Structure 1
Amino acid sequence: MVLYSALAGVLVGVASALLLSALDHAQDYLMGLAGYHPPSLPSRGGVLMAFEGNIRWWALLVIPACAVLAVWLYKPVHIDPLAETIEHYHSGESRPVQWRLQLQRILAGFISIGAGVPLGREGMLLSVAQATAHLTSRFGSLSKSEARTILMASCAAVLGVVFHAPLACAVIIAEILYRRNEFEFEVLMPAVLSSVAAYAIYGTLMGFSPLLDIPPVETPSYWSMPLYLLLGAIIAGLANVYLQAIRTLRRNLRKLRLNLLFVTLTGGVAVALCSVFFDGTLGDGLGWTQLNFMGMLDDLSVYQHFMVRFMVTLIVSGAFMIGGYFTPQLVIGAFAGASLGAAINAVFPADPVNVLVFGLVGAAAFLSSTTNIPLGATLLLATWSGEEILIPLVLSTFTAYAVGGVYSLYVEQKNVRAESGAHISNIVTEALSQPAPQDLMELLRNQPVTVLQGDTEQISGIEVPEAWYGKTKGEVDIPDTILVFAIAREGKIHVPNNKTPFIAGDQVMLIGEPQEVSAFRETLAAQQAQQQQPGDAGDTEVVA
């Protein structure tokens, strides 16, 4: 896995350098049509200045046109590829990559972000991660479990490149799979290797530098620590409003049964109109965030950026626009924290707080609350700012995590490992390998045992049919709704793969709906009876 993790990282690093360089040129051209260039990060070779020439209002139609074109190219089930990746991992399956669909999605993300849709670059590159993970898995003939691990490692590589923080992003990927108090340790080391390899390649080609240039900060005084607990609680409430608004907006739009392209067009027009009145609308917002951290925005501008970014992100989320949804959480949180710090200073001017620290901590807390990754969010912002604000980061992010609900932007997250299809075989095998009564198989045959609370699927056991001898589970006719997850052979439990043949004496353990398993038993019995009839008749004739 070490070699394949590094190989996936190298592929991601090369592809990211090429695509991000092309994306910079696309943004310069498409947003330049309207005579506008938002501030860009120096770490991307940009300039921290907003240029507004002769505004060509008609060119703002580029935004809705490109947004609609992107959705037409790839009609999304998951608008964020990271959500799809989380679902894929928990399914326990290894899905084939549809290359045409992947290319369409990469192109859709390129067009959408290039036109200035206020989302992150990571969405486009996460599609690249899925493709590179598939290539690596095919090259190494990896098992399903290993292929899923490489997929998550490739996603860590993408985030590490986008945010210039490979170690923090490896932790994020290992943490984001679950909602509460779970961590995917099996993914962590491959994610570290892949993320570091990708950033090494990307940095060699594009340059090594922190994503954000954070001015030096001093460790806040101990008396101010309760303020960061308060900040975390307020951010958690704001994040809950944000998540509920997105959920409500999408649900109501689905009820209206409007055409998807019409919804996207309406959202694109709303973003374009907003950009007419507020110049901080377009782009991913990180350039404006950098200006905020450098103290180059006044308090009114900070408040405006927070409100506009909050509303615009709701619009693009509800309109199913394609892009990355990690970056908007950081930008909203940064301006939310800075707004709160500025408000405290306005009320208590005699003892001001550090607005920069409030902005950094707010970004981590909002990301933690909306995605359930307190440790990863803390490490990410600590990577950018240094360890001087580590204590405020920990206080705010874990407070936001604790106060916020279990729901997040990624509904595909699971509560515990036992709910994940990636671990069901291991959990069941371990349970069945414990000392048990001799009549365990009889128990399984006669009284199916519920596996997961709340699910209707149950475990059942059958004697292996004679027609299955020497064949693998992929070579026999088993309904798609029934899963062969274990074989009891000579007193031991085995988890079969596609190369494990059935032999005489095997007891096959199935997971499926009870009525479907019963129907499957009847089908097997009927097939066995048909196979025995000619033989029985022949024997009768010989005896006669």
Structure 2
Amino acid sequence: NHLGWLEILVPVIGALIVGFMARYGSDKIRGHGIPEALESILINGSKIEPKVALLKPISSAISIGSGGPFGAEGPIIMTGGAVGSMIAQFFHLSSAERKTLLAAGAAGGMTAVFGTPVAAVLLAVEVMLFEWKPRSLIPVALASATSALFRYYLVSPTLLFPVPPHVSFIGPVALIACVLVGIIAGVASMLLTMAVYASEDAFHHLPIHWMWWPAIGGVVIGIGGLIFPQALGVGYDVIGMLLKGNIPLKVIIGILIVKSIIWSFSLGSGTSGGIVAPILMIGGALGGVEAIFLPNEGAGFWALISMAAVMGGTMRAPLTGILFALEVTHDVNSLLPLLIAVAISYTFSVLFMRRSILTEKVSRRGYHLSSEYATDPLEIIFVREVMRTNVVALSSSLSPKALAQALHDSLQNHKVQHLYPILNATKQLVGVVTRRDLQVLAQEHHIENENLKLDDVLHTEPVVAYADEPLRTVVYRMADTGYTRFPVVERENPRHLVGIVSLQDLLKARSRNLDEERRRERVLHLHLFFPGRGHEPQALTTKEEIDRDLIKERE
């Protein structure tokens, strides 16, 4: 405040430099970094330009150093991801392997800032990797652990936000209050996300190049800093005071209002800076206000709970929010309240927000991200469960003329096949022939050639599927070969035909999965426990029974 009104010019000058770097250096340095990392994973094969690793930390340092209300974690995550991607590009690696190294670099960067290795791994899993597999989880965990080791010796061995000890069990009334905190945090998450992207939409309507947008955001930062200086910068010291509970109420309210306004407006302008520290600061201030009317559970307790809940709801990363709060404070006694509040906030976010603050920008560029983790039904359903066993198999010694009659008979019986297994005299599979092959034979008038046998036109080395393998393996095989139908054989005897599996059969697995989610049935009934009371409930009609009745009516 020593500069007076000239203070407004400081963030404006910093924003002008950032805008210049983004336009003439790389536009990937705009924003808080995580959506840009996601975009690189989705559309660019996890390849990030090396210059991003240099320009992103410099631009963020200028933005934060000139008063920007941002954190360093988002840019560090992007920078770490860029370094990981750059290292991967020096080696002969696949896109999936580059993605793992990118996420490993990002997790290492977050750990270096906050000293939260477990939360960093969870953030990589929940937000960036889109999978939970050993091939990706182990490298990310090792990178995060290595970063934590170096941070201990090179940065600081102490906690980032030490808090006073809290009781091990806060009681049922306070636990119910955690539900209220979660709801309020969910509302705050929605409002913050809406504010950021409403600001971004407003900037898109301006008749000037986006290079100048950060300067306009810098004006708002300068005015906000002139009114309330505590809202500027990273704010780790303010977060620490909120968690210790030694900050006046008027300061808390000022943080809640001014920080939210200048952060959402300036972030929407496209400048460079992180979102985690501002979210923690706003969430902590919200908890400080809630502490006025909630049960007294110790200094900074509700600030901690609200901070994690806002983080989990805004980023749609509930596990990250919980573990992050535990790691930066080591307050294990807060685990149950954190679990309740973050779960409620996350639920509110899922129900009332289409996307998170991280994925909204990616979605606006035409890429949808799902943060739901579930077992692929193709992984747990096997070929033997969906294959067709009522198959027309042809003899290898059958002449084309006899074949034409056999096909005519099969059509009369409404058994249309597109792939025909060919068996020898001992009923062993010797090859396959497609319906298209047979049509070509007919068009070339080979039907009249009695000397022509199926042995002359069949595919003697067909691609097969095994009855005991999961459908996902078959899907990959179809993608590799371009074929959509395979004969199914036994693994012990690859010449013993047991059926045919096609792409249509694989869709049955998806249909079965949808049916399991939609169909409801009552398994146990009260009359089992109270015989003689009430009427026997009618069994629910399943989809298969309805289809069977419709077929009977048509016949």
User: What range is the shorter-chain TM-score in?
Assistant: 0.5 to 0.7
Which residue of 1 is the match for residue 201 of structure 2?
A: 251
1:316 shift after superposition: 1.2
C-alpha change, 1:214 and 1:371, in structure 2 (3 Å) is same
Matched, 1:414 2:414: no
Which residue of 1 is the match for residue 348 of structure 2?
A: 403
C-alpha change, 1:289 and 1:106, in structure 2 (3 Å) is closer
Which residue of 1 is the match for residue 318 of structure 2?
A: 374
Per-residue CA distance 1:166-216 (angstroms, 9 max, x = gap)? 11211121012499xx85665332221111111212322223121112121
1:374 shift after superposition: 0.7
Give the unaligned 5+ runs of structure 1.
1-35, 37-53, 346-350, 446-483, 494-508, 510-544
Give the counterpart of 2:212 among 238, 258, 262.
Answer: 262
Number of aligned residues: 391
Which residue of 1 is the match for residue 159 of structure 2?
A: 210
Q: What SS does the corresponding residue of 1:80 show, helix, strand or coil?
A: coil
Which residue of 1 is the match for residue 305 of structure 2?
A: 361
After the TM superposition, which segments of 4 or more aligned residues of structure 1 sit over 4 Å from their partners? 182-186, 416-419, 430-438, 440-445, 488-493
Q: What SS does the corresponding residue of 1:280 show, helix, strand or coil?
A: helix
1:394 shift after superposition: 0.2
Which residue of 1 is the match for residue 125 of structure 2?
A: 174
Once the two structures are superposed, the pairs formed by residues 73-222 of structure 1 within 5 Å of their partners are 73-75=21-23, 76=27, 79-91=31-43, 93-177=44-128, 186-219=135-168, 220-222=170-172
Identity, % of aligned positions:
19
Give the counterpart of 1:70 among 18, 31, 43.
Answer: 18
| RMSD, aligned α-carbons | 3.6
Amino acid at match of 2:315: T
Matched, 1:274 2:224: yes
Per-residue CA distance 1:53-82 (angstroms, 9 max, x = gap)? x44542541211111211210143551221
Matched, 1:352 2:269: no
C-alpha change, 1:365 and 1:319, in structure 2 (3 Å) is same
C-alpha change, 1:257 and 1:227, in structure 2 (3 Å) is same
C-alpha change, 1:264 and 1:490, in structure 2 (3 Å) is closer
1: CA distance between counterparts of 2:37 and 2:57? 15
C-alpha change, 1:306 and 1:185, in structure 2 (3 Å) is farther
Which residue of 1 is the match for residue 391 of structure 2?
A: none
Amino acid at match of 1:356: G
Q: What SS does the corresponding residue of 1:408 show, helix, strand or coil?
A: coil
Asked whether the 8 Å contact 1:74–1:101 carries over to 2, the reply is no
Amino acid at match of 1:159: M
1:434 shift after superposition: 9.2
2: CA distance between counterparts of 1:200 and 1:121? 20
Give the unaligned 5+ runs of structure 2.
363-367, 389-416, 420-432, 438-477, 488-502, 504-555
Compute the TM-score of the two structures, normalised by the length of structure 1.
0.64
C-alpha change, 1:490 and 1:325, in structure 2 (3 Å) is closer
Q: What SS does the corresponding residue of 1:249 show, helix, strand or coil?
A: helix
Matched, 1:487 2:481: yes
Amino acid at match of 2:212: F
Asked whether the 8 Å contact 1:341–1:354 carries over to 2, the reply is no
Amino acid at match of 1:166: P
1:485 shift after superposition: 5.3
2: CA distance between counterparts of 1:104 and 1:232? 38
Once the two structures are superposed, the pairs formed by residues 308-457 of structure 1 within 5 Å of their partners are 308-342=258-292, 344=293, 352-354=296-298, 356-385=300-329, 386-404=331-349, 405-411=353-359, 412=362, 414-415=369-370, 439=418
2: CA distance between counterparts of 1:486 and 1:146? 20
1:305 shift after superposition: 1.3
1:253 shift after superposition: 2.3
Bigger-Rg structure (1/2):
2
Asked whether the 8 Å contact 1:336–1:362 carries over to 2, the reply is yes
C-alpha change, 1:418 and 1:402, in structure 2 (3 Å) is closer
1:117 shift after superposition: 0.7
